[in-house]
Amino acid sequence: MSSRHALIPARPVDDHRRRIEDALRPLSGRAVETVPMDRALGRLLAADVDAPLDLPVFRNSAMDGYAVRADTVAIVPATLPLIGVVAAGNTEQLTLPPGAAVKVMTGAPVPPGADCVVPVEHTESDGVTVTVRTSRATGDFVREPGTDVRAGALLASAGTLLRPRHIAALAAVGLGELPVRRRVRAAVLTTGDELRPAGTDLLPGQIYNSNGIALAAALADNGVEVVSVAHSTDEHAEFRARLAEAVAHADVVFTSGGVSMGDFEVVKEVLAAQGGEFGPVAMQPGGPQGLSVVDGVPVLSFPGNPVSTMVSFEVFARPLLRELAGLPALPISQLPLLDSVRSPAGKRQFLRGKLAADGVTLVSGQGSHLIAAMAHAEVLVDIPAAATEVPAGTVVEVRPL
Amino acid sequence: MSSRHALIPARPVDDHRRRIEDALRPLSGRAVETVPMDRALGRLLAADVDAPLDLPVFRNSAMDGYAVRADTVAIVPATLPLIGVVAAGNTEQLTLPPGAAVKVMTGAPVPPGADCVVPVEHTESDGVTVTVRTSRATGDFVREPGTDVRAGALLASAGTLLRPRHIAALAAVGLGELPVRRRVRAAVLTTGDELRPAGTDLLPGQIYNSNGIALAAALADNGVEVVSVAHSTDEHAEFRARLAEAVAHADVVFTSGGVSMGDFEVVKEVLAAQGGEFGPVAMQPGGPQGLSVVDGVPVLSFPGNPVSTMVSFEVFARPLLRELAGLPALPISQLPLLDSVRSPAGKRQFLRGKLAADGVTLVSGQGSHLIAAMAHAEVLVDIPAAATEVPAGTVVEVRPL
């Protein structure tokens, strides 16, 4: 048996990204669920919400003061009999007789018969009468019902990412729950006989599994619900079993490892046999990539080097996952690269960088295994595939990590 | 009894903000707790974390290929006897005899005796021998232990806001949990006889309570743990009881309502009697404000109009709460205001605006009760206290909502 490896032509990054996005985009039509208002922050409103009632709900006072008819205080000082007090929350209804005054608190109903409110600061009262020192026009300090929003009017539209200000308005009309898109549900499945969980002692040749926890964090950070984080050895049967569990309860599965050119590439071997496409993408790090669909569920297969895994997530999954969650797009900026770099011909490079006052610098340690170095990075620096020598000062595309 | 109201001089916004920040800043020294790695995203690392081991943990291969001595493939093609295969995760230790080759997978240990790896793409093998077609230098495709981080070296420093990339690195050294600052714990206490919870029918004069749910959302959105959201009527005894519960389990309490110049200002009446300071702040909306300390717990008292409550949060609490949570500061920008506005002399105004291509416009409806209008805003527009007429085109300070 010859193991001579033919060079498979590498697919451009944007081609592979588009194939992944085509596979994931149907998730924008995912199911709607109802959540109580106190769990709605950061969720994506799934339907237009109309106001079920007017805001303000009723004609009320904008100030602590005295409700009067404007024409009875046209000449000041004017002393009027005080015939009652309406606190906010008073549910009895009082009517203002002509020529009198009613004390009202902010938010309290303005009695029928009154057409303005004189702020308490511009009055004196002995509890029996009130002396008004400043004239007021009809409508002053009176909030009319429906002037904020009318019953039946659109209050928040489908697709709104719910921020505190939306929740304030939706709670003000008495809504106790909201229809929101279910979060995208992802399962993470790491592979590799060499990976061990935290808290175990390493034997020679073993390392700790960081991809599971890191992919889960990256997914959660971008509005995805992580339904499971599992690990498989490089045994086909075990991987098949873990994969079946993952696709059973997730909208999308992310695997790491097992996609390269070695002898034990469990992910590639199992999924290619089910029609998955595996092959090199013209990028560094993260070259070997796979995309499969199992029981209708897209499975994205990233390489296992920790930096490759994280860069694959940033390049292929993060932008669309943010869009599906209604999160703002990541700002992409053009900045001068303050270091010079060499880049392999035909491979787009995603280098880890840090922002400086006048541009972007590279963190030291760009190997695909240098995960501690990546912790010091703030951005990915995108070096085009065609570039081979990038002199310092070249303007490059930079995206936040 | 005369109820003539003396004009209390209004305090400048920045003075009141500084007093609040002085009261809250000791929370930066709040307790440390240990969280499992899968709950560490977005938390604030409480101590420097050194790597407990080298990364890479051991000398390993950067490629799927053949581990050889470089001097045995100096002249190519070179055919070497293949004496074994080391998969990643193989815990047996193999030594390379002189002049031979060992097949190694990415991440697998490079056997003692080998000093480079020839990528599989540059070889042919019949399973008994391997023919190497490209020479390699000592060290090629070999990852030496500790080249990413050395045992004992700083991996992440105290005060780091934990992002996925930090979690990846911290998991890679085998940590299963991390010391983080406890989140700031806040209690929300709304007041007002007129407020009713969602799901109840309103009687005349009643409105729905939006402040509780909206303040809770705003707090959670800024890294705060909301430990309770409660409501009190305007009865002193009930407010005292709810307040006692709030201060018993929170680091900071936020109240809404009951701070103005009406006859039923429960928050002001109860807290001023305990040494709380209440008075006007020279701003609109949000003028009446209070700050108290009860059993050592700061109590911030915001006015009850929904927009006033939310603007008070934005101006007085949000920046410092973000700092305490390790979240990035909100970007403040200088933009042309595309509308002209009039502003009351001596009062700093915080208007609700939307971003446009060439500046910022105001949303219609700036009253302190217009909470539905606020849902359409994206930013707060800061109009200085001294300004009375602000012509269109004036550059103003803008902060995101």
Pick from A253, A313, A244, A216: nearest CA to A17: A313
Within 8 A by CB and 6+ apart from B92, the residues are none
Instruction: Give pLDDT, residue B5.
Output: 47
The Cα A168–Cα B371 span in angstroms is: 7
Q: Please check whether residue A235 touches B, CB under 8 A.
A: no
DSSP for B4-39 reads: PPP-PPPBPHHHHHHHHHHHHGGGGGPPEEEEEGGG
Flag if A149 and B372 touch (Cβ within 8 Å): yes
Backbone phi, psi, residue B256, to 5° = -130, 140
- Provide mean pLDDT across the span A19-32: 96
* Tokens of residue B128, six digits: 């008994």
Q: Is the pLDDT of residue A317 over 50?
A: yes
Q: Is the pLDDT of residue B3 over 50?
A: no
Least confident range of A291-305, B303-317, B335-349, B359-373: B359-373
Residue type, B126: D
Alpha helices (H) in A13-85, listed in sequence order: 13-24
- Best mutation target among B86, B106, B157 (most A Cβ atoms within 10 Å) is B106
* Tokens of residue A256, six digits: 């790491």
The CATH number linked to B367 is 2.40.340.10
Flag if A56 and B207 touch (Cβ within 8 Å): yes
- Same domain for A109 and A196, yes or no, is no
pLDDT digits (tens, 9 = 90+) for B84-122: 999 888 888 889 999 999 999 988 999 999 999 999 999
Flag if B214 and A143 touch (Cβ within 8 Å): no
- Same domain for A159 and A298, yes or no, is no
pLDDT digits (tens, 9 = 90+) for A58-75: 999 999 999 999 999 999
Instruction: Give pLDDT, residue A1.
Output: 35
What is the value of ipTM here, to two decimals?
0.93
- Same domain for A68 and A25, yes or no, is no
Number of domains in chain B: 4
Whole-number average pLDDT of chain B? 94
Q: How many CA atoms lie within 13 A of A293 on its CB side?
A: 7
The 8-class DSSP code of residue B210 comes to: -
Beta strands in B76-128 (DSSP E): 78-86, 101-104, 116-119, 123-125
Minimum-distance CB partner of A262 among B41, B62, B105: B105
Q: Which structural domain, as residue segments, surrounds residue B173?
A: 32-52+152-181
pLDDT digits (tens, 9 = 90+) for B17-40: 999 999 999 999 999 999 999 999
Q: Please check whether residue B50 touches A, CB under 8 A.
A: no
- Best mutation target among A210, A228, A312 (most B Cβ atoms within 10 Å) is A210
Q: Please check whether residue A5 lies inside any domain of the structure.
A: no
- Same domain for A303 and A242, yes or no, is yes
Q: Give percent of chain B with pLDDT exceeding 70.
A: 98
Local confidence band at A4 (pLDDT 50, 70, 90 cut-offs): very low
- Largest Cα–Cα distance of chain A, in whole Å? 109
- Same domain for B39 and B168, yes or no, is yes
Pick from B113, B143, B173: which residue ends a domain? B143
The CATH number linked to B189 is 3.40.980.10
The Cα B96–Cα B113 span in angstroms is: 5
Find chain B residues with C-beta within 8 A of A233's C-beta. 89
The Cα B152–Cα A312 span in angstroms is: 30
Q: Is the pLDDT of residue A200 over 50?
A: yes
Q: Please check whether residue A4 lies inside any domain of the structure.
A: no
- Provide mean pLDDT across the span B325-354: 95
Cis peptide before B280 (omega within 30 of 0): no
The CATH number linked to B174 is 3.90.105.10
Q: Please check whether residue B373 touches A, CB under 8 A.
A: yes
- Same domain for A196 and A283, yes or no, is yes
- Same domain for A189 and A304, yes or no, is yes
Residue type, B310: M
Alpha helices (H) in A133-235, listed in sequence order: 164-172, 211-220
Q: Angle CA(A253)–CA(A255)–CA(A256) in degrees, nearest 5?
A: 160
- Residue pair A210/B107 in contact (Cβ under 8 Å)? The answer is no
pLDDT digits (tens, 9 = 90+) for B162-214: 999 999 999 999 999 999 999 999 999 999 999 999 989 999 999 999 999 99
Residue type, B206: Q
- Same domain for B281 and B342, yes or no, is no
Q: Please check whether residue B304 lies inside any domain of the structure.
A: yes
The Cα B93–Cα B57 span in angstroms is: 15
Pick from A337, A332, A304, A305: nearest CA to A318: A332
Backbone phi, psi, residue B116, to 5° = -160, 170
- Same domain for B125 and B66, yes or no, is yes
Handedness of CA A21, A25, A27, A28 (dihedral sign): positive
The Cα A244–Cα B119 span in angstroms is: 33
Q: Please check whether residue A287 lies inside any domain of the structure.
A: yes
pLDDT digits (tens, 9 = 90+) for B217-265: 999 999 999 999 999 999 999 999 999 999 999 999 999 999 988 788 9
Flag if A305 and B216 touch (Cβ within 8 Å): no
Distance from CA of B69 to the nearest CA of A (A): 20
Q: Is the pLDDT of residue B7 over 70?
A: no
- Same domain for A263 and A351, yes or no, is no
The Cα A144–Cα A150 span in angstroms is: 11
- Same domain for B85 and B128, yes or no, is yes
pLDDT digits (tens, 9 = 90+) for B50-59: 999 999 999 9
The residue whose two tokens read 């729950």 is A177
* Tokens of residue A399, six digits: 């995206």
Pick from B303, B325, B347: which residue ends a domain? B325
Residue of B nearest to A106 (CA): B262
The CATH number linked to A68 is 2.170.190.11
Q: Please check whether residue A86 touches B, CB under 8 A.
A: yes
Beta bridge partners of B124: B131
Q: Please check whether residue A129 lies inside any domain of the structure.
A: yes
Beta bridge partners of B333: B398
Pick from B84, B119, B143: which residue ends a domain? B143
- Provide mean pLDDT across the span A140-161: 96
- Residue pair B305/B210 in contact (Cβ under 8 Å)? The answer is no
Cis peptide before B179 (omega within 30 of 0): no
